[in-house]
């Protein structure tokens, strides 16, 4: 049972990554690898500021600003220097490794004994339930903000940029600015996941972001499969399914561990699971054809 409780909490922490990947890959059609670096960046900034006993209203905005800066840099390299989006993300991610190491001062920052978002608020007496409710409220607020943003004129312009960049540009919309802003928002959300996870696990580590993009990608693919099966068009339902996808993805990993699969094979199992999810819609389509 502990596997599934941990999976639920981690799924809520990874919701920011799922929303970020949704914005970069599904709205703008940009495979943003900056995710690996900006997630660690969020954890690194969180760890350093927590050890300096900075208040919560300073830490979270700083983390989001750091992530947004990383995402905007990827967007600028892609749009202004005309570098392939995938390569731009890889370059920024690669550079962020050194930046994160410089910020932390060492490869690992233990946070056990420091105050955290889960100890600042006591909604219920049970620690695990308290963590669950804090994460739930936090994720709901972020989802409402992103959902509202995507419904505004600016959000509609963002979505239109991903659907038909040429048409939107002919209407006078600065598509380069839209991409830069979109990647900034996506990586701010990713850094927020690093903020939540580093406090949940009790440490920040330089390697915590390695392969984390596959978590967000898996979550989005699960949600997209459900969206396609039920032909969902609502932005709100799509965002909710992204959150559900993040939790389902972690439940699958928890189930894998609970049945006795060696933990050293977890990343291999994760890769195979994502491959199956990606392939399933295509296999279904081919069979029906």
CB 221 within 8 A of CB 277: yes
* Tens-digit pLDDT profile for residues 171-187: 888 999 999 999 999 99
Q: What per-residue confidence (pLDDT) applies to 215?
A: 86
- What is the average per-residue pLDDT within 200-228? 88
- What is the average per-residue pLDDT within 254-276? 80
Q: What per-residue confidence (pLDDT) applies to 242?
A: 92
CA separation, residue 18 to residues 13, 31, 124 (Å): 10, 13, 28
Q: What per-residue confidence (pLDDT) applies to 283?
A: 58
Reported as a pLDDT band with limits 50, 70 and 90, residue 211 is confident
The domain that holds 177 is classified in CATH as 1.10.3470
Q: What per-residue confidence (pLDDT) applies to 286?
A: 52
Q: Is the pTM of this model over 0.95?
A: no
Question: Average model confidence (pLDDT) for the chain?
Answer: 89
CB 95 within 8 A of CB 81: no
CA quadruple 163, 161, 148, 34: dihedral positive or negative? positive
Least confident of 2-11, 87-96, 163-172, 280-289: 280-289
- What is the average per-residue pLDDT within 117-133? 86
Residue 252 belongs to what domain range? Answer: 2-288
Total tally of structural domains belonging to the chain: 1
Reported as a pLDDT band with limits 50, 70 and 90, residue 288 is very low
Reported as a pLDDT band with limits 50, 70 and 90, residue 257 is confident
Is the pLDDT reported for residue 199 higher than 80?
yes
CA pair distance 286, 232, nearest whole angstrom: 22
Is the pLDDT reported for residue 190 higher than 90?
yes
């Amino acid at each position: 049972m502990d596997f599934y409780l941990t999976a639920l909490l981690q799924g809520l922490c990874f919701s920011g990554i799922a929303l970020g990947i949704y914005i970069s890959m599904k709205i703008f059609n940009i495979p943003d690898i900056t995710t690996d670096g900006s997630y660690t960046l969020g954890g690194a900034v969180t760890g350093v500021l927590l050890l300096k006993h900075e208040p919560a209203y300073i830490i979270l905005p700083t983390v989001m600003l750091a992530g947004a800066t990383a995402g905007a840099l990827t967007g600028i390299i892609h749009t202004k220097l005309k570098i392939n989006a995938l390569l731009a993300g890889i370059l920024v991610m690669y550079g962020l490794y050194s930046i994160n190491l410089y910020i932390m001062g060492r490869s690992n920052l233990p946070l056990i004994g420091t105050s955290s978002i889960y100890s600042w608020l006591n909604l219920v007496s049970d620690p695990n339930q308290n963590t669950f409710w804090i994460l739930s409220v936090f994720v709901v607020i972020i989802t409402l903000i992103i959902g509202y943003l995507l419904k505004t004129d600016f959000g509609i312009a963002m979505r239109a940029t991903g659907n038909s960049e040429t048409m939107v540009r002919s209407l006078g919309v600065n598509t380069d600015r839209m991409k830069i802003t979109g990647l900034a928002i996506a990586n701010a959300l990713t850094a927020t996941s690093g903020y939540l996870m580093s406090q949940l696990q009790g440490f920040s580590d330089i390697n915590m972001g390695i392969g984390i993009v596959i978590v967000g990608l898996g979550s989005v693919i699960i949600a997209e499969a459900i969206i396609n099966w039920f032909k969902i068009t609502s932005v709100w339902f799509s965002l909710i399914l992204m959150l559900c996808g993040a939790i389902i993805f972690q439940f699958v990993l928890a189930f894998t561990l609970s049945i006795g699969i060696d933990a050293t094979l977890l990343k291999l199992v994760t890769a195979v699971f994502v491959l199956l999810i990606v392939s399933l819609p295509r296999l279904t389509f081919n069979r029906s054809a």
